[in-house]
Structure 1
Amino acid sequence: MEKNITHEFIMVMNKLRKLTHKHHSKDMVHQGEFMMLGAIHGCMEENRANQKNDPGVKVSELSDKIHSTKPATSKMLNALEEKGYIERISDKKDRRVVYIRLSAAGEKIIKESLHRMHIFAECTIKRMGEEDAKDFIRLLNKFYDAVYEEMKDMKRDKEDCEKE
C-alpha cells in the first residue's frame, strides 16, 4: 500500500478529531457522558417497548450495553449524577438493586443534542450534496466493517501470542 495514502488517512482523521474537539462548547456534555446518557435513554426505550415496568436501567445492563467494566460505568454514572443528569432509584423489594434513569435535565440534554445533531447532519449533507453524502455513508460503513475485522484479527493475534 502506498505510504501517501496511509499518511493522508492518518492526517485527515487527526484533522477531524481536532475539529470536533475544538468546537466542543463548554455547555455541551463530553462525548463519553453523552454516550452514557444515550445508552440509558436507549435501554429505557427498549424496556418500554418490551413492557418491562422497571423504574430505570440496572448498572450491569448499562455496562453490557456500552461494553465497559462496572467500575468504569459507576465512575461515569457518579459524574452524571453530580451534574444532575441522572437519578438512582433503589428497588423497593431488594435494596441492593439500584436502577438508573435520566433526570429531567438528562432528558433535556438528550433531546437538545439529538436535535442539534440532526440539524448539523442535514446542513452537512446539503453542503456535500446528496450523492456525495450517500457515497460517503457507504464508504463509512465499509470503513467500519474493515476496522471491526482488523480489531478482531488484532485481538486474536494478541491472544495467540499470550498462549505461546
Structure 2
Amino acid sequence: VKEYQSKFLLQMHNFHKIKFWSLVPELNPSEHMLVFALCRCEAGKCGEFSDDLDIKLPEMKGVKVSDLAKAVRMTMPGVSRALAGLEEKGIIERRIDKSDRRNTLVFLTEDGYSKIREYKKRINKYFETVFERFGEDRVAEVIELIGELSEIAQEELQKELIGSESMQDGRAVSEDKIKDIHQ
C-alpha cells in the first residue's frame, strides 16, 4: 500500500503541476479562473465545473463580484485585483447593479467574448491532441477510475473525520468542514 500511496501522490502532484492556463498566456492564473467562472455563472452553472460556455453576449445579465469570488474560492481583494487586470485588457467591464446599487456586476465585453471563444478553441485543441495520443478508450477508463477513487477517498475521509476522534483545536470537526471536503 505504501508503494502505491507514494506513486499515486507523486502522479497527482505531477498532474497538478501542469499549467493548463499557460495555453492562454494573455491571462494570469487568477484571471483565467475568473473569466471562465464568469462564463459558467452566466450559463447558470456558477460554482460547478462545466465545459458548457455557450453564452450569448446580448443575453448576458452580469454576475455579482461576490458570486464570482465564491465560485473560484478567492478573497474579494484577490478577485478585485484580477478583475482590474481583465478590465485593463478589455475583456470584462464592471457596472453598478441598477436593481441594487450596493452590488457590482461583471460582463464580458465584445472583445472579451471573442477572446474567450479563441481561448476555448486553444484549450479544446490541446485536450483533443492529448486524448488522441493517449487513446479515447483509455481516457474514458481513467476518468471512470479516478471518479470511483475520488468517491471512495471522499467517503473514507468523511468517515475518518466523523467516526474517529479527529479533533481540531480541541473540538470535533464541524459538519461545515466536512461539506468543504466535497466541494
Please tell me the TM-score bracket, short chain as reference. 0.7 to 0.9
1:57 and 2:55 equivalent? no
Matched-pair contact (CA < 8 Å) for 2:92–2:107: yes
Matched-pair contact (CA < 8 Å) for 2:24–2:119: no
Matched-pair contact (CA < 8 Å) for 1:57–1:101: yes
Alignment of 1:120-159 (within 5 A): 120-146=126-152, 148-149=154-155
User: Mind listing any 5+ residue stretches in structure 2 that lack a counterpart?
Assistant: 46-54, 172-183
Match of 2:11 in 1: 12
1:162 and 2:160 equivalent? no
Q: Which moved more, 1:65-74 or 1:147-156?
A: 147-156
Alignment of 1:107-126 (within 5 A): 107-126=113-132
Structure with more relative contact order (C-alpha pairs < 8 Å, separation 6 or more): 1
Q: TM-score, normalising length from structure 1?
A: 0.72
Measured on the aligned residues, the alpha-carbon RMSD in Å equals 3.4
Instruction: Give, in whole Å, the separation in 1 of the partners of 2:120 and 2:93.
Output: 21
SS of residue in 2 equivalent to 1:24: helix
Instruction: Give, in whole Å, the separation in 2 of the partners of 1:64 and 1:90.
Output: 19
1:30 and 2:10 equivalent? no
User: Mind listing any 5+ residue stretches in structure 1 that lack a counterpart?
Assistant: none
Deviations 1:20-55 (A, max 9, x none): 2399367342333222111111222229x9xxx874
Instruction: Give, in whole Å, the separation in 1 of the partners of 2:157 and 2:80.
Output: 26
Q: Which has the higher helix share?
A: 1
